[in-house]
């Protein structure tokens, strides 16, 4: 009896899967952990598995190191990897990702739009755009009950806002923020960096070093995206850089006393790429088509307020607010693209980072070891 039931439900699942045009697939997906990865698992991961497929979720902390060594040594064990524009550009140029025909993995929008549904220009022939997020900073409200940090320079102002600061253990965002606070106009940051080369980087690092050595300051480095809200909630730091959705998650879900500062936010674009020689190439494409479908990518926004690249998904969310897990929070104001959050913003300089990442990383390691 039980066995019959199991058999019939298994075949029903199979039928459902084949009816949906999908074949039972297994795919290894590597993402960035924490609330972000949870949004992917709940947004479409579970639905994809319900359709008879299997996803092996992996966590990594970004960067191309692991990806490069997998491809170069011919030991590719990941299929799909989540990364931003700059990294996907580098990897695609190096030939370590599969080139993917965007149309082939784009499920048409309800209005029939295909690749035109993407609001943002594709950075390269390998990347499949997913969502937009921001590099911001946040502070602990309880520590500063009176005057609150409002602009990017306040992150460096230890006289007004004494206490330790959390900062990412890689140079992205830190360099830009330091220069903004040091008086370089936001929109000119990357031009300034391009023109002044090492000198500009040194200026930023000097500013950060001063913050670290300040008696009322001090830097605490974080690795994983879940750390900044944790550091803030525990009182380890009074301010921390971080990813916008992670702060939202701590505030809305856990009621943490955290407030985000959008001034000087750096808007960044996230993609999926498929590694060259991926063990499940066809399944990976099938997964990408599923994950980026209008309804599915929109579903992730319920769990983390990152605006989808696809116009149809954004429209769906706006038309159905409050679009959040708790059913009452409006997500619109938390998106990187909300007009109120874009009064002083910078678009992540993918070209700059693509071209200078290697030497800045080297300089950063030396700088950090001397702290």
Residues that bind another protein (CB under 8 A): 28, 33-34, 56-59, 61, 63, 65-66, 68-70, 72-75, 77, 90, 93-96, 164, 198, 202, 218, 220-221, 223-227, 230, 233-236, 254, 354-359, 361-363, 365-371
- Smallest CA-to-CA distance from 361 within 128, 41, 73, 65 is with 65
Least distance CB 358 / another protein (angstroms): 5
CB 168 to another protein: min, Å: 12
Q: How far is the CB of 221 from another protein (least distance, A)?
A: 6
Is the CB of 123 or the CB of 308 nearer to another protein?
123
In the complex, minimum distance from the CB of residue 18 to another protein, in angstroms, rounded to a whole number? 25
Q: Nearest distance from residue 146's CB to another protein, in Å?
A: 15
User: Do the beta carbons of residue 227 and residue 166 sit within 8 Å?
Assistant: yes
Dihedrals phi, psi of 214, to nearest 5 degrees: -60, 135
CB of 360 to another protein, least distance (A): 8
Contact 175, 189 (CB under 8 A): no
**Closer CB to another protein, 321 or 362, in the complex:** 362
Which lies closer to another protein via its Cβ, residue 106 or residue 300? 300
Nearer to another protein, 108 or 224 (CB): 224
**Residues contacting 109, CB < 8 A, separation 6+:** 117, 294, 310, 311, 312
Smaller CB distance to another protein: residue 206 or 330? 206
Which residue, 284 or 317, has its beta carbon nearer to another protein? 284
**Least distance CB 54 / another protein (angstroms):** 11
- Residue 216: which residues within 8 A CB-CB, separation 6 or more? 158, 159, 162, 163
DSSP string, 79-126: SEEEEEHHHHHHHHHHT-B----GGGG-PPPTT---GGGBSS--SSSS
Residue-wise burial string across 247-257, b where 16 or more C-beta atoms lie within 10 A, e elsewhere? bbbbbbeeebe
HSE of 348, CA atoms in CB hemisphere, 13 A: 24
**In 3D, which of 32, 34, 13, 33 has the Cα closest to residue 24?**
13
List the one residue out of 360, 361, 357 whose CA is nearest residue 94. Answer: 357
Which residue, 204 or 317, is less far from another protein as judged by CB? Answer: 204
What minimum distance in Å lies between the beta carbon of 297 and another protein?
23
Helices (H), the chain: 2-19, 34-40, 46-50, 65-73, 85-94, 174-181, 189-213, 227-234, 244-254, 281-291, 294-300, 311-319, 350-369
Instruction: Kindly state the smallest distance separating residue 68's Cβ from another protein, in Å.
Output: 6
Residues in the chain: 371
For residue 196, count other CB atoms closer than 10 A to its CB. Answer: 14
HEC profile for 20-43? Answer: CCCCCCEEEEEECCHHHHHHHHHH
Q: How far is the CB of 224 from another protein (least distance, A)?
A: 4
CB of 7 or CB of 93, closer to another protein: 93
User: The tokens 């602990």 sit on which residue?
Assistant: 140
220 vs 342 by CB, closer to another protein: 220
C-beta closer to another protein: residue 68 or 141 = 68
Copy the structure tokens of residue 155: 């992150």
């Amino acid at each position: 009896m039980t066995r019959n039931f199991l058999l019939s439900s298994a075949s029903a699942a199979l039928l459902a899967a084949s009816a949906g045009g999908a074949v039972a697939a297994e795919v290894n997906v590597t993402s960035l952990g924490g609330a972000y990865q949870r949004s992917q698992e709940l947004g479409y991961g579970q639905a994809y598995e319900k359709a008879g497929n299997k996803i092996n979720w992996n966590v990594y902390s970004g960067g191309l190191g692991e990806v490069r060594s997998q491809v170069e040594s011919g030991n590719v064990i990941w299929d799909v990897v989540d990364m931003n524009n700059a990294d996907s550009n580098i990897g695609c140029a190096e030939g370590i990702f599969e080139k993917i025909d965007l149309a082939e993995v784009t499920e048409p929008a309800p209005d029939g739009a295909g690749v035109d549904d993407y609001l943002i220009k594709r950075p390269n022939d390998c990347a499949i755009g997913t969502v937009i997020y921001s590099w911001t900073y946040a502070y602990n409200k309880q520590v500063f009950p009176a005057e609150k940090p409002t602009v990017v320079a306040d992150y460096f102002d230890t006289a007004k806002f004494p206490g330790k600061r959390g900062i990412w253990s890689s140079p992205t965002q830190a360099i830009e923020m330091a220069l903004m606070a040091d008086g370089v106009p936001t929109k000119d940051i990357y031009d300034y960096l391009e023109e002044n080369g090492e000198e500009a980087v040194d200026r930023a690092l000097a500013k950060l070093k001063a913050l670290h050595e300040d008696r009322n300051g001090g830097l605490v480095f974080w690795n994983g995206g879940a750390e900044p809200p944790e550091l803030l909630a525990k009182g380890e730091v009074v301010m921390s850089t971080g990813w916008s959705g992670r702060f939202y998650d701590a505030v809305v879900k856990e009621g943490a006393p955290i407030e985000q500062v959008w001034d000087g936010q750096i808007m960044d674009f996230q993609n999926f790429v498929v590694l060259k020689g991926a063990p499940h190439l066809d399944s990976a494409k099938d997964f990408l088509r599923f994950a980026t479908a209008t309804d599915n990518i929109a579903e992730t926004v319920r769990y983390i307020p990152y605006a989808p690249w696809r116009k149809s998904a954004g429209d769906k969310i706006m038309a159905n607010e409050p679009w959040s897990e708790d059913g009452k929070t409006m997500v619109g104001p938390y998106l990187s693209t909300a007009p109120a959050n874009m009064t002083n913003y910078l678009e992540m300089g993918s070209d700059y980072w693509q071209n200078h990442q290697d030497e800045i990383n080297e300089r950063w390691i030396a700088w950090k070891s001397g702290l």
